Amino acid sequence: AQKITQTQPGMFVQEKEAVTLDCTYDTSDPSYGLFWYKQPSSGEMIFLIYQGSYDQQNATEGRYSLNFQKARKSANLVISASQLGDSAMYFCAMRGETGNQFYFGTGTSLTVIP
């Protein structure tokens, strides 16, 4: 069975500081994909970053980077130089080897303080 765990219900970060949002996963699939999405109060889910299970290097997308530790089954999101617009819910998600079903964590609410 696939499972995503996000243990931080809420996080605060000072503007311009970096923050790490934790995500651990469980799967028996040899191949899988890990995703992070941002959900502002408007409700739309916005894709941030993707990491494939066989990717050798950690993924980066602008201010977002994914700290992927396969042996520990963790895929933490690092946001550098936080901005007020980063305040939102952040979801870690996984897609298994087959099918197009995504499994989501419970999310972390990030608040950026001026």
Partner 1 sequence: KAGVTQTPRYLIKTRGQQVTLSCSPISGHRSVSWYQQTPGQGLQFLFEYFSETQRNKGNFPGRFSGRQFSNSRSEMNVSTLELGDSALYLCASTLGDRGPEKLFFGSGTQLSVL
Per CB under 8 A, residues contacting partner 1 are: 32-33, 35, 37, 42-47, 50, 52, 91, 93, 95, 99-107
Nearer to partner 1, 18 or 46 (CB): 46
Q: Minimal distance in Å, beta carbon 19 to partner 1? A: 21
Rg, C-alpha atoms of the chain: 14
Distances (CA, A) of 49 to 25, 35, 59, 72, 79: 16, 6, 7, 19, 11
Q: Minimal distance in Å, beta carbon 9 to partner 1? A: 11
